[in-house]
Amino acid sequence: MDSHSVSVKEKKFNKLITVVSIVVPVVVALLFGVKIPDVERLGFLPPIYASINGLTALILCCAVWAILKGKKKLHQFLMNICIGLSLLFLVMYIAYHMTSESTTFGGEGMIKYIYYFILITHILLSVAIIPLVLKTYSFAYLENFERHRKWASITFPLWLYVAITGVVVYLLIAPYYPV
């Protein structure tokens, strides 16, 4: 691709990334306030979407291993799976919270502060990771691998943190879910 067509495509990607990065968190926040009446609580979803977070973390590590071994197609395949898993997580997360009241953490003492620190950083970084993942992905799509690598060096550890802390948050709050 010539530099002009790449620049035009990159500008289009940037607009789309900006819109998605704003719309997704706003819609999720709005849907938190929506409760579907007379629908069975989807209480089986939290361990599933926590497992999806764990699987995402594992596949992210495998994707990094693949690219370090020069396996570009495998890396691309694994990253596409991670994005798909993240979308699946988001759908399940929204569905759960639209059918269930939020669970209050019941731990006391230092564990309470640890839980809330992990939860708050997880939530903030899960919002920040949206444009980072999309921008990093767009550089690979546009075959600008130098910029892709630079962005991935920031995106990967943050995405991995979000995936791992998603599991940790679940494990810490699971004892307090209603039966």
pLDDT, tens only, 98-118: 988 888 999 999 999 999 999
Domain count, the chain: 1
132 and 82 in contact (C-beta within 8 Å)? no
DSSP state of 90: H
pLDDT attached to residue 157 = 98
Instruction: Enter the pTM of the model.
Output: 0.91
20: tokens are 């998605």
Is the residue at 98 inside a domain?
yes
Is the residue at 152 inside a domain?
yes
Is the residue at 35 inside a domain?
no
Q: What is the mean pLDDT of residues 162-173?
A: 97
- Domain range for residue 65? 40-176
Is the residue at 34 inside a domain?
no
Is the residue at 171 inside a domain?
yes
Q: Is 90 exceeded by the pLDDT of residue 128? A: yes
DSSP state of 44: T
Separation CA 106–CA 38 (nearest Å): 27
> 165 vs 9, 35, 112, CA distance in Å?
34, 26, 15
In this structure, which long-range contacts are made by residues 153-156, counting pairs with CB atoms below 8 Å and at least 24 apart in sequence? 155/129, 156/60, 156/64
Is the residue at 10 inside a domain?
no
